[in-house]
């Protein structure tokens, strides 16, 4: 069955559609066990002193050294594989999840491995920690495995994996709720997939079959929310509401009136459906309404904003605050500097994230998004307590737009359309003010690339129920994004590489010299 579906996808690839399921080109086979053992013995001999130490700190240091050597190894690909494996192992034992994950990703990028099993083994072996940030990161990686299984319609495995994720976060109300919702979603997908399997089989033999295209297109778009693939198939399906909307999407110009028509079509389709299908239709309507909103003003703008507010109210918040998307900015030496979240104190109270400024740096900190806000965007946050909320310039100078946070829970919405930036608090427009030192650093450009932030005085606490960021280029509420944004991952990887370069080169020469003698036996790419 899966082979049949793969044939369908291969046809789409041939049509120029980007898919997540691609051949693993350029990867090397995993080295044979005997070659791995030989290389491991050599590495243990080279780092004999480091391997003899049993403390957590020593294991952490060893994992960093091994990971650093693996990054630099270019000739002996057996040694590189073993170095990554050992780095992963010692990182897990010492509670260094970031390094363990980096080692896994480098191995997955370079070698043909059973990535799901290797990653599952890593997540299973990683010990529980008291760090809220680490535990949420581990949970997110579990859910990534779940989404991978969903992507290939392996629902039995997806259900098993989400069960393991639930066990990991059994004490975290927010994350447990997310896992439970995902479990319900999997069951719906599985039931529908079993019903429409014949359509995929038919497509494998007859790619132009209208009925099969329509059925498969409906499943991929309205159930899995893989819109690009799903709409392509739906457009080849029989006449009906979904085909009509697919045709309109492909013909839609960048004209607000026509885009509104597409969005209204999805809104209308939502009214005749319920549960998952209705939610999917509303998500798609919101996606097109946001595209139409760009450049609008007057009554048309008000109309679409009301539609988006209705959709937002019905769909609700999919999760509270995703820690992996946040950073801490502290003011030092007349500019802001990035710091890890560990710089402040974090806790969960129900589904709300409680952040307290315990940085000890200057008067206040900014709890900021990692994601840059480019072009038109909207940010909606539910916040209780804190100093101010707003956006700050990309260069991290003190060019900020903000409003003060008052007592009680506040729903703050910041929206930029063109050069117009608006703030609303609890649904009422409020006037923003420039941040302090504006005269020193120059005037704010409303069109500037920015980060969203919540500022907190020293010792001050802020409870954050949700942060939702939407831009004109990102689909609203996509469950399985077709082109994941790896900017944060790449940025973290670059940071780690810079750190490794700064740590010194202890052990470099001895490893290089030792491996020189076996480089002719190593597995190069040629």
76-106 pLDDT tens trace: 999 999 999 999 999 988 888 889 999 999 9
Confidence at residue 23, expressed as pLDDT on a 0 to 100 scale: 44
pLDDT in tens, 164-217: 999 988 877 778 888 998 999 999 999 999 999 999 999 988 999 999 999 999
CATH T-level assignment (fold) for domain 323-471: Jelly Rolls (2.60.120)
Give the pLDDT confidence of 413-443 residue by residue, as tens digits: 998 887 788 899 988 889 888 876 665 566 6
Tokens 């970031």 identify what position? 98
Q: What is the pLDDT of residue 510?
A: 43
- List where CATH 1.25.40 sits in the chain: 2-188
Spatial separation of the C-alpha atoms in residues 209 and 200, rounded to whole Å: 10
DSSP for residue 221 = I
- Residue 477's pLDDT band, with cuts at 50, 70 and 90, is very low
CA distance 99 to 493: 10
**Percent of residues, the chain, with pLDDT higher than 90:** 47
Q: Write down the pLDDT at residue 147.
A: 93
Give the mean model confidence (pLDDT) for residues 468-482: 49
> In the chain, what is the straight-line distance between the N-terminal and C-terminal CA atoms, in Å?
36
pLDDT, position 178: 86
Is the pLDDT reported for residue 39 higher than 90?
yes
DSSP 373: B
pLDDT at 475 over 90: no
Q: Answer yes or no: is pLDDT of 517 > 60.
A: no
* Residue 30 pLDDT: 93
Give me the mean pLDDT over the 100-116 stretch: 93
Instruction: Please choose, from the candidates 240, 201, 202, the residue with its C-alpha nearest in 3D space to the C-alpha of residue 218.
Output: 240
What's the pLDDT score for residue 8? 52
What are the tens digits of pLDDT across the range 1-29? Answer: 544 454 455 444 333 333 444 446 689 99
**Nearest one of 479, 315, 329, 309 to 411, comparing CA atoms:** 309
Question: Do 477 and 283 contact (CB within 8 A), yes or no?
Answer: yes
Q: What is the CATH number of domain 2-188?
A: 1.25.40
The pLDDT-based confidence of 251 (bands split at 50, 70, 90) is confident
Decide if pLDDT at 112 tops 60.
Answer: yes
Q: Residue 292's closest CA among 316, 261, 315, 314?
A: 261
- What string of DSSP letters covers 123-147? HHHSPP-S-HHHHHHHHHHHHHHHH
The three-state DSSP-derived secondary structure of 291-307 is: HHHCCCCHHHHHHHHHH
List Cα–Cα distances, 121 to 99, 104, 485, in angstroms: 15, 11, 25
- Quick one: pLDDT at residue 195? 95
Handedness of CA 176, 178, 180, 182 (dihedral sign): negative
Residues of the chain within CATH 2.60.120.560 domain(s) are 323-471
Lowest average pLDDT, out of 64-68, 127-131, 335-339, 503-507, goes to: 503-507
**Dist. CA 304–CA 317, nearest whole Å:** 20
How does DSSP classify residue 225?
-
Give the residue-averaged pLDDT of 250-254: 78
Mean pLDDT across the chain: 81
């Amino acid at each position: 069955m899966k082979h049949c579906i793969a044939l369908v996808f291969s046809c789409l690839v041939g049509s120029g559609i980007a898919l997540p399921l691609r051949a693993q080109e350029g990867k090397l086979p995993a080295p044979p066990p005997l070659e791995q053992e030989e290389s491991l013995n050599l590495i243990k001999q080279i780092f004999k002193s480091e391997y003899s130490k049993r403390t957590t700190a020593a294991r952490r240091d060893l994992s960093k050294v091994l990971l650093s050597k693996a990054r630099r190894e270019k000739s002996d690909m057996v040694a590189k594989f073993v170095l990554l494996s050992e780095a992963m192992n010692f990182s897990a034992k010492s509670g260094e999840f970031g390094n363990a994950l980096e080692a896994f990703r480098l191995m997955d990028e370079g070698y043909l491995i059973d990535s799901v099993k290797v990653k599952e083994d890593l997540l299973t072996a990683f010990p529980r920690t008291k760090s809220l940030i680490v535990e949420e990161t581990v949970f997110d990686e579990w859910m990534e495995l779940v989404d991978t299984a969903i992507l290939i319609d392996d629902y039995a495995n997806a259900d098993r994996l989400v069960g393991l994720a639930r066990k990991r976060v059994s004490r975290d109300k927010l994350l447990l709720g997310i896992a439970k919702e995902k479990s319900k979603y999997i069951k719906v997908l599985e039931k529908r997939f079993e019903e429409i399997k014949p359509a995929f089989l038919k497509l494998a033999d007859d790619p132009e079959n209208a009925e099969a295209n329509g059925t498969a297109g409906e499943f991929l778009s309205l159930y899995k929310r893989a819109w690009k693939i799903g709409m392509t198939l739906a457009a080849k399906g029989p006449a009906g509401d979904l085909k009509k909307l697919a045709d309109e999407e492909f013909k839609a110009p960048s004209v607000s009136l026509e885009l509104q028509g597409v969005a209204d079509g999805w809104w209308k389709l939502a009214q005749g459906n319920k549960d998952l299908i209705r939610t999917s239709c509303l998500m798609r309507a919101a996606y097109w309404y946001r595209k139409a909103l760009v450049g609008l003003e007057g009554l048309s703008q008000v109309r679409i904003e009301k539609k988006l507010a209705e959709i937002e109210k019905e769909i609700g918040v999919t999760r509270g605050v995703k820690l992996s998307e946040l950073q801490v900015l502290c003011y030092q030496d007349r500019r802001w500097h990035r710091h890890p979240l560990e710089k402040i104190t974090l806790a969960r109270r129900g589904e709300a994230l409680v952040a307290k400024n315990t940085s000890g740096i200057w008067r206040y900190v900014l709890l900021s998004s990692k994601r840059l806000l480019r072009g038109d965007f909207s940010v909606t946050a539910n916040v209780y307590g804190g100093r101010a909320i707003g956006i700050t310039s990309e260069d991290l100078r003190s060019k900020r737009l903000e409003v003060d946070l008052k007592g009680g829970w506040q729903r703050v919405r910041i929206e930029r359309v063109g050069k117009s930036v608006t703030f609303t608090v609890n649904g009422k427009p409020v006037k923003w003010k420039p941040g302090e030192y504006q005269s020193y650093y120059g005037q704010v450009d409303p069109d500037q690339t920015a980060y969203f932030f919540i500022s907190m005085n020293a010792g001050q606490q802020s409870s954050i129920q949700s942060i939702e960021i939407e831009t004109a280029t990102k689909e609203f509420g996509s469950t399985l994004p077709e082109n994941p944004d790896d900017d944060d991952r790449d940025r973290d990887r670059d940071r780690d590489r810079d750190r490794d370069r700064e740590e010194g080169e202890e052990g470099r020469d001895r490893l290089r010299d030792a491996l020189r003698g076996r480089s002719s036996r190593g597995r190069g790419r040629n």
